């Protein structure tokens, strides 16, 4: 605490607080539930395919249903985050996707002719409801963390996509095996309501958090944290939100376009793991639904560890004096190269070897998933939410294409071999995008005259 500053009753301890760690923990938990909601359909998929007589292509469309609306919601959600603030928009998002989860479980009791269309519609609504999650994560990290800590913070919440499989896949496998696939969604619904309560009790803007010390605010701000993007909790910030001039300014930047393309390729890997991977273990590797649910956890745990280590490594490189460009690109390139090892699964029939190779690939995917860190580093201060939304729009277009393309490959060939090659090529394309297209990584400044155009 600076000398001469009066001591407040709520901050009698002169030591610097570390409330930002509580915030990133909350982002991690919320993101785990978001991905858990997506994984539920995948783990329950084999049982649903049998009950609903779904072909691989038809089931691929069902898996992709979430992403159609999720992608379309990215730009509006980014604008809403910039206009109304992260806490409010994100909290409403959690509540709405929780309601959708409840209803999907009850949809199983409809007449058979209506179950598929009802679940598809609810997955669309759930995707729309969850569209603010990762733009909100990026926006909150940009506010709460200095630049030198941002890689680790972003890696922590981004690792949720892997840890969600670790935490939820065994539970969903057991629920599906013991009680039926509907219970996976009811489980998410009940605990989603608990999450809503925890969110509103934990998350505030930086200056307004009741537990934060002035010295921590100063540490964040001096390190490059954008502490005032949500100036007062519950108030409408001054950011403009969604403007098409802002969208076009972002799309005109070669660096950002390269980042968007890279994220599409990286997210192709993500959606393989959270949609078809549990099905792959059951159908191609002949595991039971229960065993497959537990088997998913090991590669996912490796992905979670890799995700955190990638951020730590990137921040360490930055602190040792390497450029921002080098510190962010090196883990991405190394991680994507490691992910290509999944193709070797096509040349073995030993389940333990398959799990080892998939664990290695999952670790690499996590290690290289620094896209949200790069967005926090590069976004114009006025359009952090919008840029995060645009970034997530491009990235999660892979959530539409990947399940459908893999479904076509499996149905056409009767094998997952081509699917693994497809995903491996996506990892190589991510490397190409960051090496050839992105160039120097730096924060963009808006053209003030053009930003006035609505």
Q: 270-292, pLDDT tens digit by residue?
A: 888 877 887 788 878 877 666 76
Residue 6: pLDDT over 50:
no
What are the tens digits of pLDDT across the range 224-242?
A: 767 666 653 344 444 444 5
Percent of the chain with pLDDT over 70: 87
The answer to whether residue 216 sits within a structural domain is: yes
Most confident of 61-65, 127-131, 219-223: 127-131
CA 86 vs CA 89, 92, 138: distances in Å:
6, 10, 10
Residues 265, 423: Cα–Cα separation, whole Å: 9
Name the pLDDT band for 5 (thresholds 50, 70, 90).
very low
Q: Do the domain assignments include residue 326?
A: yes
Q: pLDDT tens for residues 145-169?
A: 887 787 778 778 777 777 787 788 7
CA dihedral defined by 301, 302, 303, 306, rounded to 10 degrees? 130
pLDDT exceeds cutoff 80 at 306: yes
| Residue 12 resides in a domain | no
- The confidence band for 261, taking pLDDT boundaries of 50, 70 and 90, is very high
Q: Is 12 helix (H, G, I), strand (E, B) or coil?
A: coil
Exposure class string for 151-180: b at 16+ Cβ within 10 A, else e:
bbbbbbbbbbbbbbbbbbbbbbbbbbbeeb
Does residue 229 lie in a domain region?
Answer: yes
Predicted confidence band of residue 360 (pLDDT cuts 50, 70, 90): very high
The torsion angle over the Cα atoms of residues 112, 117, 118 and 123, rounded to 10 degrees, is 130
The residue written with tokens 């506010």 in the block is 143
Q: Bin 185: left if φ > 0, else alpha if -120 < ψ < 50, else beta.
A: alpha
Torsions phi, psi for 132 (to 5 deg) = -80, -5
For residue 104, what are the contacts with CB-CB under 8 A and spacing of at least 6?
119, 122, 123, 126, 182, 185
In a domain? residue 208: yes
350 DSSP assignment: -
pLDDT in tens, 94-106: 999 999 988 988 8
Average pLDDT (342-368) is 90
Helix segments in 44-159, DSSP class H: 45-52, 56-72, 74-84, 86-107, 112-130, 133-144, 147-158
Which residue, among 417, 202, 168, 431, has the nearest Cα to 300 in the 3D structure? Answer: 168
Q: How confident is the model at residue 195 (pLDDT cuts 50, 70, 90)?
A: very high
Compute CA distances 257 → 30, 375, 391, 431, 439, whole Å: 28, 11, 9, 14, 11
Whether 452 shows a pLDDT value over 70: the answer reads no
Query: Are residues 376 and 142 in contact, defined by beta-carbon separation less than 8 angstroms?
Result: yes
Residue 6 lies in a domain: no
Spatial distance between the Cα atoms of 268 and 425, rounded to a whole number of angstroms: 10
Q: Residue 170 domain-assigned? A: yes
Backbone phi and psi for residue 187, each to the nearest 5 degrees, phi listed first: -60, -45
Predicted confidence (pLDDT) at residue 387 exceeds the cutoff of 90: no
Domain ranges, residue 278: 18-452
From residue 423, alpha-carbon distances to 193, 236, 393, 436 in Å are 35, 42, 19, 20
Q: Which of 6-20, 61-75, 186-200 has the highest mean pLDDT?
A: 186-200
Q: How many domains does the chain have?
A: 1
Q: How confident is the model at residue 383 (pLDDT cuts 50, 70, 90)?
A: confident
Range in 307-311, 321-325, 437-441 the model is least confident about: 307-311
pLDDT score recorded for residue 149: 80
The CB density around residue 236, as the number of other CB atoms within 10 Å, is 13
Torsion, CA 40, CA 43, CA 46, CA 52, rounded to 10: 0
Task: Out of 5-19, 153-167, 240-254, 331-345, pick the least confident.
Answer: 5-19
Please provide the average confidence, as pLDDT, over all residues in the chain: 81
Residue 224 within a domain: yes
Token pair belonging to 275: 């949609």
pLDDT of residue 150: 76
pLDDT at position 307: 80
Q: Report the CATH number that the domain containing residue 68 is assigned in CATH.
A: 1.20.1250.20
């Amino acid at each position: 605490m600076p000398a001469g500053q009066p001591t407040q009753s709520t901050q009698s301890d002169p030591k610097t607080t570390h409330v930002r760690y509580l915030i990133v923990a909350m982002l991690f938990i919320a993101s785990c539930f978001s991905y858990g909601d997506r994984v539920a359909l995948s783990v329950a998929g084999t049982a649903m395919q049998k009950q609903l007589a779904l072909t691989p292509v038809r089931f691929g469309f069902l898996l992709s249903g979430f992403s159609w609306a999720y992608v379309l919601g990215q730009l509006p959600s980014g604008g809403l985050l910039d206009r109304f603030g992260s806490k409010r928009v994100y909290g409403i998002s959690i509540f709405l996707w929780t309601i959708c989860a409840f209803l999907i479980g009850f949809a199983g009791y409809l007449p058979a002719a209506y179950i598929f269309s009802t679940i598809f519609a609810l997955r669309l609504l759930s995707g729309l409801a969850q569209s603010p999650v990762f733009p909100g994560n990026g926006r909150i990290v940009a506010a709460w963390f200095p630049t030198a800590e941002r890689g680790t913070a972003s890696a922590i919440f981004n690792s949720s996509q892997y840890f969600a499989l670790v935490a939820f896949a065994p539970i969903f496998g057991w629920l599906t095996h013991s009680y039926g696939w509907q219970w996976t969604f009811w489980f998410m619904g009940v605990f989603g309501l608990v999450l809503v309560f925890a969110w509103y009790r934990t998350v505030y803007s930086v200056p307004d958090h009741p537990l934060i010390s002035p010295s921590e605010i100063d540490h964040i701000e001096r390190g490059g944290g954008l502490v005032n993007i949500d100036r007062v909790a519950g108030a409408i910030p001054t950011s403009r939100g969604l403007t098409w001039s802002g969208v076009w300014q972002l799309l005109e930047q070669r660096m950002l376009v390269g980042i968007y393309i890279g994220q599409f390729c990286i997210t192709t890997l993500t959606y393989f793991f959270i949609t078809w991977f549990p099905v792959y273990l059951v159908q191609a590797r002949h595991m039971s639904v229960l065993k497959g649910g537990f088997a998913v956890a090991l590669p996912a745990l490796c992905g979670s560890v890799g995700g955190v280590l990638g951020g730590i490594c990137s921040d360490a490189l930055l602190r040792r004096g390497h450029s921002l460009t080098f510190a962010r690109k090196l883990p991405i390139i190394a991680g994507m190269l490691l992910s290509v090892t999944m193709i070797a699964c096509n040349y073995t029939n030993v389940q333990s070897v398959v799990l080892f190779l998939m664990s290695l690939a999952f670790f690499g995917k996590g290690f290289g998933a620094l896209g949200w860190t790069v967005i926090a580093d590069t976004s114009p201060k006025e359009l952090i939410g919008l840029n995060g939304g645009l970034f997530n729009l491009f990235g999660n277009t892979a959530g539409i294409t990947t399940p459908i393309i893999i479904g076509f490959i499996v149905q056409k060939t009767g094998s997952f071999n081509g699917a693994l090659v497809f995903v491996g090529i996506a990892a190589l394309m991510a490397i190409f995008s960051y090496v050839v297209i992105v160039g120097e990584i730096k924060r963009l400044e808006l053209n003030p005259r053009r930003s006035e155009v609505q």
